[in-house]
Amino acid sequence: MRARLLPLLVVLMAGVLLALGFPLAVSLAAGQQQGVVVDRIDDSARFAALAQFVIDSEGSSTSGADERRETLQAELARYQQLYGIKVGIFYRDDNAMARAPGWWRLPEDGVGRRAFEEALAGRRSHDPAQVWPWQTDGKLLVASPVVLDGDVVAVVVTESPTDRMRARTLRGWLLTAAGLAAAMLLAFGAALRLTSWVLKPVRTLDAAAHGIATGRMNSRVAASGGPPELRRLARSFNEMADNVEEVLEQQRAFVADASHQLRNPLAALLLRIELLALELPEGNEEIASVRAEGKRLAQVLDDLLDLALAEHASAELSVTDVGGLAAERVAAWRPLAEEKGVRLTLTGRAAVTGWADPIALSSALDAVIDNALKFTPAGESVEVSVAVEGRSALVVVADRGPGLTEEELARIGDRFWRSGRHQNVKGSGLGLSISRVLLAAGGGSLAYETNPPHGLRVTVRVPRSSPQP
């Protein structure tokens, strides 16, 4: 969830910063150019005043007009030499009154021509086209009219290089980008803290729910931190878990008590059956059937009591020699396998360790090997192999029995469930359920799959590292 929420927040914050940054960058560039334009307009106004004196003296005294024109030309030349700005004063017919440098001519088209025509109409170039930092050949052309007796008689035109203006704009943009980057980093840090604060209770709740789903009924959520709604959800979850655990505990207690209480009457009943059998002829089929059913009922009660105790007990985990334990259980079951004519073999790694309750793991291996021998016909084999897969130690028991269908594989391990084809085989249907409960308490598991061409493969898995509490 964090991987989806964090990019969304970052994209939104980046959009906000960019929405603020672009107008700021445009405003910064416009402000730099406007300052240059204002300076050029002031300079043009001063040159226009000097040009008025020249034009005003042209009709009265030729020597005076020439002297004033020379003075104006010298002023323009010093201005151009000092600032590097081309400047010229042009009559309405485009002829130059004075200009610097002397070869400079008024542009015949484009921006320069439009500015000149606007000045002839009495308007100053107050808003020339924006010059951006990447326009290395950009020029800033400003034109101001020279007005005499209410008529525009000439135009002052300046063409300014934009290197310094573009450099200042670029520096301003870099500072703005640095500020936006810093703001983005701060926003990203705030988003990290925000998502952590919001999602921490969710992660804790998910871990607790997973713990309960895997059999750790004492998993709870610490109702601290996060938004008020999530804290309230954590409290509600804890209340629900308490109620569920209480109901399950009552069920376990009932099963254990019922199993325990039924054992004594059943033992007395079996004893009376044996006494009754003494008075019947030897080999009576009915009494044999009653004995078998009585023993089967006693086995079911024992398994129920074991299941209740397994669900109630906590696992005592330790580093266990999984390979050695598997070899020990194979050796213990080999006499029975030889008696049935089944080959029981051990393969794989001899030294594999894992975190498990040795008693629970031993009981699970006994149940799995017992089932494999029970359903494997004489002349076939049962192979027990020890391996390592990632962070887990595996004990795989593969038999060559009739196997199970896909529908039956989905139900194997359920309490009291047995395949309809195996109802005549001794058992209560609780052995694998007890093994699964014992393994789950220590972070282990049981998995089932087919063993081609026929048979069943059961994988007992335990973690190689200490499970998180």
Say whether 411 sits in a helix, a strand or coil.
helix
Distance (Å, rounded) from C-alpha 327 to C-alpha 315? 22
CB 428 within 8 A of CB 299: yes
What pLDDT digit, counting tens, does each position of 108-164 carry? 766 667 777 777 777 776 677 777 888 777 778 888 888 877 777 888 888 888 878
Percent of the chain with pLDDT over 70: 82
Structure tokens, 91: 């009559």
* DSSP-derived secondary structure letter, 468: P
What pLDDT digit, counting tens, does each position of 409-420 carry? 777 766 656 665
Say whether 447 sits in a helix, a strand or coil.
strand
Which residues have C-beta within 8 Å of that of residue 404, sequence separation ≥ 6?
412, 419, 448, 450, 456
Structure tokens, 35: 């300052």
What pLDDT digit, counting tens, does each position of 27-55 carry? 888 888 788 888 888 888 888 888 877 77
Structure tokens, 182: 């810093």
Distance (Å, rounded) from C-alpha 412 to C-alpha 371? 12
Residues of the chain with pLDDT under 70: 1-4, 56-65, 109-112, 125-126, 214-215, 223-226, 254-263, 283, 296, 299-315, 413-431, 467-469
Distance (Å, rounded) from C-alpha 19 to C-alpha 27? 13
CB 162 within 8 A of CB 141: no
Distance (Å, rounded) from C-alpha 72 to C-alpha 9? 63
Structure tokens, 270: 């079996």
pTM over 0.75: no
- pLDDT for 344 equals 92
The Cβ of residue 288 has, within 10 Å, a number of other Cβ atoms equal to 11
